[in-house]
Chains A and B, each alone.
Chain A
Amino acid sequence: MKAVIAEDLVKTYNKGSVRALDGLNLDVEEGTVLGVLGPNGAGKTTTVRILATLLAPDSGRATVGGIDVLKHPDEVRKIIGLSGQYAAVDETLTGWDNLIMFGRLYHLSAKEAKVRAIELLEQFSLSEAAKRPIRTYSGGMRRRLDLAASLIIRPKVLFLDEPTTGLDPRGRQDMWGVIDELVKGGVTLLLTTQYLEEADHLADEIAVIDHGKVIARGTSDSLKKQVGGERLEIVVENENLQATKEIVAKVSGSAVNVDEGLRQISAPVTTGSKALIEAAKLLDEKGIHPLDIGLKRPSLDDVFLSLTGHVAEEKTDENLETATGRKKGKK
């Protein structure tokens, strides 16, 4: 069973001059996690807003839990939870007030709302801060409370729009932990992110979107294979370029790229840190001290570069023109 289906979604703004979604298709199998990965302006928020009944597309169709989003938005709202890109909770109220209010709006009785609020505050490590106004919360706490509010009725399908953007590494780790727990509980999750690493960690499947379309789709491994996995990168003095190149060739076993200007030697590796240690050892034996040495994981930029042939960019009107220009150029 597909818990979410989106077919040919089109959404334009400013009388058609901005195509936020340009025939977007995706689906999410029940009980799995789909990571929607895309740069600024790709259409992530627009997609989530349509699926969460907040926005009507110009054309296309979508169902959530088998229910048509456009025809029966009220029914859809009973089974979804939404945590938008920016925490949407009442800042003047306390965390407790917020959860009670949302609980009551989900038609829980006063008592049920209290029980649920206590559970959620506990689950999200917010019990201590429960009686403080949200204004005094850190970004991470706000995000967690926002997520808690979207879980009040234990939704079947959960939409999270960039749940960790703006959080520090610690906050991101905490959020990942929380999301992992939810997924174990069996919720169907659609989350958007700008970070490959995050999609990698949380999602069963990834849909890469750009300019309002899905341009690639698959597991994180399959996407990474397309991108080429990790690369070993070493920067050395000029006189050591040749020797280093031989070492890198030996360690990686594949084609080596030498950038003389940057004095950088790089090659794809499959063994990760093992390759790094081995290269460092061999360099040391030859008495070569690298200026810089490291493993580079494929970033979202690399994914984009390899999938689209262009670097991820924000879709402004100007860029739109150049993007279409480029497409024409390709043909």
Chain B
Amino acid sequence: MMNAISDALIITKRQLLQLARVPEVLIFSTIQPVMFVLLFRYVFGGSIDTGQPGGYVQLLMPGIFVQTVAFTLAATAVGLSADMQKGLIDRFRSLPISRSAVVFGRTLGDGVLNIVVLAVMGLTGFLVGWRPTSGALNVFLGFVFLFVFGFAMSWVGVLIGLSVREERVAQNVTFIAVFPLTFLSNAFAPTTGMPKALQYFAEWNPVSTMVAGCRELFGLKNEFGATAGSFPSENPLLMSIIYMILIMAIFVPLSVRKYNNAAKK
């Protein structure tokens, strides 16, 4: 067990070293969400009436945080797929290390990257008027929530990254999976304008429950979004926790198994 953790940390450290050697990666993976914050804040911000004090940016920030951490799935998938193609996964598998170390280390590394990105986004948000009103503890909890969600999504990315044959496929597959998930939600606009069927989807979509949960933790009433009175809209935090546990319960074992059979294609 101790070895499993220390092995994983070595893999995480490798990822951080990579960032130190090629800082552009970190710079650009931060610029993108920051750009999103600014675009949404100033492009849609004027036209969407939120009916809440503080304006659109208060509702936007949780949405964009969740979108960003949801995309950890893509980062993990692409990273692992690249390692696989370069034969690094083979080499790791020939070493006497714990069976979960490489994938655990990778998800942890992507988690660390998320912390940096979330911090920069939070600051940017603050500069353009985002003011959570719930007190330091709740804001902190909100970020913990986001971190864990990113971590859970990362495990889905592991399975995808180890299943596809090429980095580019990993990139495409994950974008195709995550984009609809983040837009068919309450993240950027009310779901009330969607066709009925999509509204149901959006209501139960884990991205929506995450966004609603974060809004709650940052001191907002989650007024636009999920249909009032439904279970996920009444209990977004609980629902999100259930989703995270479910995702991990399914994808952690599948991913670890996939890693150990990684070459058996």
* Interface set of A (CB-CB < 8 Å, partner B): 49, 52-56, 74, 77-78, 80, 82, 84, 86-94, 97, 101-102, 104-107, 133, 149
Q: How far is the CA of A74 from the CA of B21 in the complex (A)?
A: 32
Q: How far is the CA of A49 from the CA of B14 in the complex (A)?
A: 25
A-B contact pairs, 26 of them (CB 8 A): A49-B90, A52-B94, A54-B93, A55-B264, A56-B264, A77-B95, A82-B91, A82-B94, A86-B86, A88-B86, A88-B88, A88-B90, A89-B91, A90-B18, A90-B88, A91-B86, A92-B21, A93-B14, A93-B17, A93-B21, A97-B14, A101-B14, A102-B95, A104-B10, A106-B96, A133-B21
Q: A55-B263, A104-B10 are in contact. Are A93 and B94 (CB under 8 A)?
A: no
Q: A90-B14, A92-B22, A94-B21 are in contact. Are A54 and B95 (CB under 8 A)?
A: no
Contacts of B22 in A (CB 8 A): 92
B3 contacts the other chain (CB 8 A): yes
Question: Shortest beta-carbon distance, B72 to chain A, in Å?
Answer: 20
* Interface set of B (CB-CB < 8 Å, partner A): 3, 7, 10, 13-14, 17-18, 21-22, 86-88, 90-97, 101, 263-264
Q: How far is the CA of A106 from the CA of B101 in the complex (A)?
A: 12
Q: How far is the CA of A54 from the CA of B13 in the complex (A)?
A: 24
Partner of B94 from the list A80, A90, A92 (CB cut-off 8 Å) is A80
Q: Considering the complex of A and B, which 10 residue pairs feature the smallest CB-CB distances, nearest first?
A: A88-B87, A77-B96, A88-B91, A82-B94, A78-B96, A92-B18, A104-B10, A52-B94, A105-B95, A88-B88
Give the residue name and chain of the B residue nearest to A81 (CB).
B94
Please tell me if the beta carbons of B94 and A106 are within 8 angstroms of each other in the complex: no
Contacts of B94 in A (CB 8 A): 52-54, 77, 80, 82
Q: How far is the CA of A84 from the CA of B22 in the complex (A)?
A: 26
Question: Shortest beta-carbon distance, B67 to chain A, in Å?
Answer: 27
Question: Shortest beta-carbon distance, B166 to chain A, in Å?
Answer: 15
Please tell me if the beta carbons of A149 and B91 are within 8 angstroms of each other in the complex: yes
Q: How far is the CA of A221 from the CA of B264 in the complex (A)?
A: 38
Please tell me if the beta carbons of B18 and A53 are within 8 angstroms of each other in the complex: no
Question: Shortest beta-carbon distance, A150 to chain B, in Å?
Answer: 8
Contacts of B263 in A (CB 8 A): 49, 54-55
Give the residue name and chain of the B residue nearest to A77 (CB).
B96
Question: Shortest beta-carbon distance, A103 to chain B, in Å?
Answer: 10
Contacts of B91 in A (CB 8 A): 82, 84, 88-89, 102, 149
- Supplied contacts A78-B96, A90-B18, A106-B96, 10 more A-B pairs, CB within 8 Å: A49-B263, A53-B94, A82-B94, A90-B88, A101-B10, A101-B14, A102-B95, A105-B97, A105-B101, A149-B91
Q: How far is the CA of A149 from the CA of B97 in the complex (A)?
A: 15
Contacts of A89 in B (CB 8 A): 88, 91
Contacts of B101 in A (CB 8 A): 105
Q: How far is the CA of A278 from the CA of B86 in the complex (A)?
A: 52
Q: How far is the CA of A49 from the CA of B7 in the complex (A)?
A: 23
Q: How far is the CA of A104 from the CA of B95 in the complex (A)?
A: 11
Question: Shortest beta-carbon distance, A70 to chain B, in Å?
Answer: 13
Q: A54-B263, A97-B17, A101-B10 are in contact. Are A106 and B95 (CB under 8 A)?
A: yes
Please tell me if the beta carbons of A74 and B95 are within 8 angstroms of each other in the complex: no
Give the residue name and chain of the B residue nearest to A75 (CB).
B96
Give the residue name and chain of the B residue nearest to A56 (CB).
B264
Partner of B96 from the list A74, A86, A94, A104 (CB cut-off 8 Å) is A74
Question: Shortest beta-carbon distance, A148 to chain B, in Å?
Answer: 13
Contacts of A84 in B (CB 8 A): 87, 90-91
Give the residue name and chain of the B residue nearest to A149 (CB).
B91
Contacts of A88 in B (CB 8 A): 86-88, 90-91
Q: How far is the CA of A88 from the CA of B7 in the complex (A)?
A: 19
Q: How far is the CA of A84 from the CA of B88 in the complex (A)?
A: 10
Question: Shortest beta-carbon distance, B145 to chain A, in Å?
Answer: 32
Q: How far is the CA of A92 from the CA of B20 in the complex (A)?
A: 10
Q: How far is the CA of A53 from the CA of B94 in the complex (A)?
A: 7
Q: How far is the CA of A178 from the CA of B15 in the complex (A)?
A: 31
Give the residue name and chain of the A residue nearest to B93 (CB).
A54
Q: How far is the CA of A90 from the CA of B85 in the complex (A)?
A: 12
Please tell me if the beta carbons of B92 and A105 are within 8 angstroms of each other in the complex: yes
Q: A84-B87, A88-B87, A105-B97 are in contact. Are A93 and B10 (CB under 8 A)?
A: no
